[in-house]
Structure 1
Amino acid sequence: MMPLLKIARLLILADPNAMLRGAALSVVVLLMGAALLGLSGWFITATGLAGLAGIGIAFDVFRPSAGIRFLALGRTAARYGERLLTHDATLRALAALRVSLLRRHAISDSRVLAEMRSEGALTQIISDVDALDGIILRLFLPSVSAVLAHGIAFAVLGLLVGWPVALTILAGYALLAILVLWRLARRCLVPSGDSETRHQRLRRSVIDMIRDREALILSGRLNEREAELVTSEREARAVLAVLDREERGAGAALSASVSIVTALAFLAGGAMLAQEAIGPARAVIGLFVAIALAESLLPLRRGFAELGRMVSAAGRVWGPEETDAGPSQAPAPVAESGPLLLIRTEKIDLIVPAGGTVALTGASGSGKTNLLMQIAGMLPAEGIRLHGKSPEDWPEAKLRKIVTVVPQRSALLAGTIRDNLSLAGSVAEAQMWQALKAVDLEQAIRARGGLDLCLGEGGSGLSGGQAKRLCIARALLRQPQLLLLDEPTEGLDETTAERVMIGIRRALPGATIVAALHRGAEHSIFSDKVTLQN
C-alpha cells in the first residue's frame, strides 16, 4: 500500500493548482445538486401548503423558481468544468509520473534495462501507468469531494433545518458507506490484482502466437496454442465476473444505504416537526438532501473495486528500490588486480591480457552472444573475471568505464548523427569525425549533410551495415579498456570489413577486443581465436 500512497502524492503534487481546481468544481457540483433537490423539495411542499391554506396567490414563487433555475444551469456548467479540469489535472499528473518513471529507469543498470526491452515488460509498464490514472479520477478526487460535500451539507443543514437532521444524515452515510466500501475493497483486493495479471499474460500469449504463427503452423501446434488462449481468456473472464459481482453487490448495498439514510432523515425531520421546532416545508429538506448526497457515494465503488489493480501496479511502477530503508550504501571500491579478462567455463579456459584481441567463432547457438553478455555483466556470469572480480561485483558506473559492448541489434535514436554519437559522453566534433573515419563512415556522412544528418526511428535512413558501424563509432568514443563486438562485420563486403577492423584497432591501440564472428576470424588484428562448441 505504501507505493500507492507515494505515487498518489507524486500525482497530486505534479500540478496542485490544477488538482485543486478540479476538486473544487467536483464539490460545487455535489453541493449544487444537493441544494437543487433540497430547494425543489422545500418549494413543492411550501406551495402545496400555501394552496391548502388558501394563500397561494400571496406566495412568492419567483425567487425560489429563479434559484432552482440558477442551480440547475449552474450545476450543468460546473459538471462540464469539473470533467474538463479533473481530466486535465489527471493527464498532467500522469505526464509527471511518466517523466519520473523514465528518470528512475534511466539510472538503472544495464541488466535491468536489458530485461525491460521485451515486449512483455513494455506492455506491463504501459498497462500499469494506465491503471494508475484511477488513483486520481476514481479514488482521490471522488473521495475528497464526497467528504467536503458531506461536511458542508452537514453545516448548512444544521443551520437551516436542525442539527438532529444533519447529524442523522452525516452519521448514517459515514457509517454505512465506510462499511460497504471497506468490504468491497477487501473482497476485491486480490481478484483485482489477479485479473490484471491474467490479462497481461493473455496479451503476451497473443503477441507470442502472432509472432510465432509460421512455426506453429509448420509444427502443427496452432490449434493447441489457440486452445491455450481460449482457456486463459476463460480464466480471465471468470475473475472479471467475480469483480463484477462484488461491484454490483456494493452498488446495491449503497443504494440500500441511501434508502435507509433517507428514511432516517425523514423521521428526524418529522420528529422536529412534531416538536414544532421547524415547519413542514423545512422538515422535508433533509429528505431531499439525503437523496442528492447519494451522488457522491455511488461513483466510489469503481475505484475501490479496482484498488487491488492499482496497488499491484504501483508496486511494480514504484519499484523495490524506492523504499524508506534509508540511503543505499555506495558500492565498496573494487581493486584492479589480475589479468583484464579471465574466462574459465566448461567451454573455455582463456586469459586475455590488456591489449589482447580474441575472435570467438562457432556455429549458431554455440553461445557466443551469451558469453559476450556475461562478460559485459548483462547476464549472470560464472567463471568470468575482470581484473580478478566477477562482472557482477563491479559497481555499474565503474564497469561501464571498463567494458563497452556493441550487440548485434543496432540501438540508434531518432535524431541527428551528432545526437547518436553524443550518447557516448561529452566529445568534441573532431573526435566524432575520427570515430566515423575509423569505421569507414566519414565520406558517406559528409556527403549527406554531416553530423546534422537526421535519422528516423531506430536509425532509419541508414543501411543495416551503416547503422552497425555508427554504433561501433559510438563505442570507440567511449575509449573502453575492453571492447566487445557481436558480428561487427555482418552485412559488409570484404573490403569494407577489412577497413573497419583495421580502423577499430587503430582507434583503440591499447584496448582489449573480443569479437564474436561467423567470418573474418582469421583477420590479422586477432592474436587469438577461440571456437565454441555446441
Structure 2
Amino acid sequence: MWQLWKVMARSSAMLRAMGLAVLVVLAGVGLLMLSGWFISAAALAGLAGYAGGAVMFDVFRPAAAVRGLALIRTAARYGERMLGHDATLRAVVDLRGAVLSGLSDLPWQRLLMLRRGPALARVIADTDRLDGLPLRLVLPGVAAAVVILLSLLVLGWLAGWVMALWICGCHLLASGLSGAWGFARSARLGGPLDDAESDFRSHALDLAAARDDLLVHGRIDAQIAQAMAAERRAGALADEIEATERAVVAVQELGRLAAMVGALVLGGRAVAQGALDPAIAAMCFFAALALSEAVAPLRRAVGDWGRIRQAMLRVAAVLEQPMPRVRENAGNPVPLVVDGVTVGPGEVLGITGPSGAGKSTLLAQIAGLIPPAGRGIILGVREVQNWPEDELRTVLTLVPQRTALVAGTLRENLALAAPGASEEELAGMLAAMRLDHLPGGLDMRLSDGGAPLSGGEARRVAIARALLKRPAILLLDEPTEGLEDALAAQIMTAIARYSCDVPLVVASHRRCDLALATQFIALD
C-alpha cells in the first residue's frame, strides 16, 4: 500500500485535499459542539433571568461563530469534493502510467504469457478501482484520526480527561473493533467476489460471441446455467459484504450510544458536584453525538476494501518490477555466434528451411524469448541465456511476423523507438520502406492493431521502427512476406543499407530475402 500511495500522492493537490477533508469534519464536529453549548447556555441564562436574577449573556459572538463554522463547513465540503476528486483522478493517471511502465519492464517470457485482456484490465480496471484508496480509506481515515485527537484535547481541557477519554474512547473502541473485523471479512470476500463477477462476464461474453456454435452443439442451456450460477454466487457474496457493513454500523451506533449515555451520566454528576458548568456538560453530550460523523465513512471503507485490496495486490506486483538500466554501448555492434556460425558487423545470416522447420523458433531463441535448448548462441562474450533481460532488450531487436502497432499516428508509432528522431529522419525511413504514398504521411491515423494498413504495410512500419532504434543486432522474420519480388528486393536493399554496421539475421524461405546473406543455417 505504501508503494502505491507514493505514486498516487506525488502531487501536492493530495495534501491539500487531505487538509480540506480534516477541515470538513472538524468544522462539522465543532459546529454541533458550539451549537449545543450556545443553546444550553442561552437557555440557562434565560431561566436565570426569568427567576429574577441579573444575567449578562453575549449572543453575538457565539452566533457569529456558529454561522462562521457553517460557512466554513460548506465551503470546505465543496473544495474537498472538487480538489479531492481532481487529485484522485490525477493520481490514477500517474498510477496508470506507472503500471504501463511496470508491464513494459516484465521479462519477455512473462509478457508472452500475459494475454491482452488481462493486461488491459490491470491497467484500466484495477487502477480505476484504486481511486477508492484515497477517497474511501486514506482521506477519511486521516480526517477521523486528527479530529478525534483534537476533540480529546479540547474536551480534556474543558471538561476533564475522564469525560474526554470516555467520549473519544467509546468511538475509537467501537470503530476499531468493528473495523478490524469488517476489513478482515471484506478481504476474505473480495477475491471470491471478483472471481465470481469475472466468471459471469466470461460466460456471458462467450454466450454472445459463440451463440451459434453453442446452439449447434446443444450447449446453450449449459452455458446459460454456468453464467447464472456465477451471477448467483456473486450476488450471495455481495449480500455478505452488505451484511458486514450493517454489522459495522450497528457496533458504531452502540459505541455512539455508550458515549452519549456516559456523557450524560458523567456530566450530570459533575454538574451536581459543582465541578462543571451545565452548558459545558451539554456540549460534551453533543460532542459524543457529533464524533459519529468522523467515523461514519468506515462503513463504505469496509464495503470497498475487499476489491481495493485485490486491485492493490495485482498493481503492486507490477510496480515491483525493477526499472531497466540503459547500457551506454547499446548501439555498438555485438558479434553473434549461432551454432558455430559467426556473424559480424555488416554481415547477414540467412536462416532457411521449409514451413514448420523451426525458423521462427530459432529467431526466438536468439532473441532470448525461449530457452536455446542446447544450441550454442553467444552475443558478444556471453551466452544469450546469461544476459540480463534489460540489457538484452537494448542490444537486440526482433521484428516478428505478427507486428504490434498502437492506435495513433504513424509518427507516434515510429517515435516509440526513436523519440528524438527528426521529421526528416521519420519521413526518410517511411520512404525507404516504400510507405511515402500513404494518405496523410506521418499524420496518418491508425486504429488499434494498425488498421487500415495491410499486413505487408504494417510489417514495413514495424521494420522502420526497428531500424530507427539502431540496435546492435537486428532479427527479421519473413520481412517481405506477401510483397511482390521487385518491391521485396527494394525493401531488403534498404534494410541492408540502414543496418550495414550491425549483424543482421533473416529467417525466410524467399530467395529475395536471402539474396544479401553472407552465411546460412539450413533447417530441415
Spell out the pairing of 1:409-420 with structure 2 (5 A cutoff).
Answer: 409-413=402-406, 417-420=410-413
Q: Measured at CA, do residues 30 and 424 of structure 1 come closer, stay the same or move farther in structure 2, by a change above 3 Å? A: closer
1:396 paired residue number? 389
Spell out the pairing of 1:45-194 with structure 2 (5 A cutoff).
Answer: 45-50=40-45, 52-53=47-48, 55=50, 60=57, 62-63=59-60, 64-116=62-114, 118-194=116-192
Q: Measured at CA, do residues 436 and 68 of structure 1 come closer, stay the same or move farther in structure 2, by a change above 3 Å? A: closer
1:7 paired residue number? 4
Kindly indicate whether the alpha-carbon contact (under 8 Å) linking 2:397 and 2:475 is maintained by their aligned counterparts in 1: yes
1:227 paired residue number? 225
Bigger shift: 114-123 or 465-474?
114-123
1:36 paired residue number? 31
SS in 2 for 1:358: strand
**What is the CA–CA distance in structure 1 between the aligned matches of 2:406 and 2:201, rounded to whole Å?**
27
Q: TM-score when scaled to structure 1? A: 0.80
Matching residue's letter, 2:338: L
Spell out the pairing of 1:413-428 with structure 2 (5 A cutoff).
Answer: 413=406, 417-425=410-418
Bigger shift: 181-190 or 376-385?
376-385
SS in 2 for 1:382: coil
Q: 1:371: Cα distance to partner?
A: 5.6
Kindly indicate whether the alpha-carbon contact (under 8 Å) linking 1:381 and 1:392 is maintained by their aligned counterparts in 2: yes
**What is the CA–CA distance in structure 2 between the aligned matches of 1:395 and 1:33, rounded to whole Å?**
57
Spell out the pairing of 1:234-313 with structure 2 (5 A cutoff).
Answer: 234-313=232-311
What do residues 107-134 of structure 1 show as CA deviations (whole Å, max 9, x unaligned)? 4444444444511221133222123222
**What is the CA–CA distance in structure 1 between the aligned matches of 2:241 and 2:226, rounded to whole Å?**
23
Q: Measured at CA, do residues 369 and 89 of structure 1 come closer, stay the same or move farther in structure 2, by a change above 3 Å? A: same
SS in 2 for 1:404: strand
Q: TM-score when scaled to structure 2? A: 0.81
What do residues 25-61 of structure 1 show as CA deviations (whole Å, max 9, x unaligned)? 2222222222322233334434444555552997758
Matching residue's letter, 2:11: D
Matching residue's letter, 2:255: S
**What is the CA–CA distance in structure 1 between the aligned matches of 2:252 and 2:294, rounded to whole Å?**
11
Q: 1:415: Cα distance to partner?
A: 5.5
**What is the CA–CA distance in structure 2 between the aligned matches of 1:22 and 1:427, rounded to whole Å?**
41
Spell out the pairing of 1:305-454 with structure 2 (5 A cutoff).
Answer: 305-319=303-317, 322=320, 340-342=337-339, 354=343, 355-362=348-355, 372-387=363-378, 391-400=384-393, 403-413=396-406, 417-425=410-418, 435-436=429-430, 438-441=432-435, 443-444=436-437, 452-454=442-444
Matching residue's letter, 2:445: L
Q: 1:267: Cα distance to partner?
A: 1.1
Q: 1:278: Cα distance to partner?
A: 2.0
Kindly indicate whether the alpha-carbon contact (under 8 Å) linking 1:438 and 1:507 is maintained by their aligned counterparts in 2: no
Q: 1:254: Cα distance to partner?
A: 0.8
Matching residue's letter, 2:355: G
Q: 1:297: Cα distance to partner?
A: 0.7
What do residues 156-192 of structure 1 show as CA deviations (whole Å, max 9, x unaligned)? 2233333332222122222222122112222222222
2:483 paired residue number? 492
Kindly indicate whether the alpha-carbon contact (under 8 Å) linking 2:324 and 2:390 is maintained by their aligned counterparts in 1: no
Q: Measured at CA, do residues 339 and 438 of structure 1 come closer, stay the same or move farther in structure 2, by a change above 3 Å? A: same
**What is the CA–CA distance in structure 1 between the aligned matches of 2:367 and 2:222, rounded to whole Å?**
39
Q: 1:194: Cα distance to partner?
A: 3.3
Q: Measured at CA, do residues 83 and 107 of structure 1 come closer, stay the same or move farther in structure 2, by a change above 3 Å? A: same
Spell out the pairing of 1:447-486 with structure 2 (5 A cutoff).
Answer: 452-458=442-448, 459-460=450-451, 462-478=453-469, 483-486=474-477
Bigger shift: 484-493 or 147-156?
484-493
Kindly indicate whether the alpha-carbon contact (under 8 Å) linking 2:130 and 2:312 is maintained by their aligned counterparts in 1: yes
Structure 2 gaps, min length 5:
328-332
Of residues 499, 505, 515, the one that matches 1:513 is 505
**What is the CA–CA distance in structure 1 between the aligned matches of 2:470 and 2:280, rounded to whole Å?**
84
Fraction of identical pairs, as percent:
37
**What is the CA–CA distance in structure 2 between the aligned matches of 1:211 and 1:369, rounded to whole Å?**
32
Kindly indicate whether the alpha-carbon contact (under 8 Å) linking 1:360 and 1:514 is maintained by their aligned counterparts in 2: no
**What is the CA–CA distance in structure 2 between the aligned matches of 1:330 and 1:465, rounded to whole Å?**
32
Q: Measured at CA, do residues 174 and 196 of structure 1 come closer, stay the same or move farther in structure 2, by a change above 3 Å? A: same
Q: Measured at CA, do residues 292 and 514 of structure 1 come closer, stay the same or move farther in structure 2, by a change above 3 Å? A: same
Q: Measured at CA, do residues 402 and 282 of structure 1 come closer, stay the same or move farther in structure 2, by a change above 3 Å? A: closer
Q: 1:292: Cα distance to partner?
A: 0.7
Q: Measured at CA, do residues 340 and 160 of structure 1 come closer, stay the same or move farther in structure 2, by a change above 3 Å? A: same
**What is the CA–CA distance in structure 2 between the aligned matches of 1:531 and 1:424, rounded to whole Å?**
32
Q: 1:461: Cα distance to partner?
A: 5.9
What do residues 215-259 of structure 1 show as CA deviations (whole Å, max 9, x unaligned)? 545555444333333222332333222222212111111111111
Structure 1 gaps, min length 5:
343-350
SS in 1 for 2:445: coil
Kindly indicate whether the alpha-carbon contact (under 8 Å) linking 2:103 and 2:318 is maintained by their aligned counterparts in 1: no
2:194 paired residue number? 196
Matching residue's letter, 2:462: C
Matching residue's letter, 1:250: V
SS in 2 for 1:245: helix
Q: Measured at CA, do residues 419 and 176 of structure 1 come closer, stay the same or move farther in structure 2, by a change above 3 Å? A: closer
**What is the CA–CA distance in structure 2 between the aligned matches of 1:265 and 1:524, rounded to whole Å?**
94
The alignment covers a number of residue pairs equal to 507
**What is the CA–CA distance in structure 1 between the aligned matches of 2:216 and 2:75, rounded to whole Å?**
61
Task: Calculate the aligned-residue CA RMSD, in Å.
Answer: 4.0
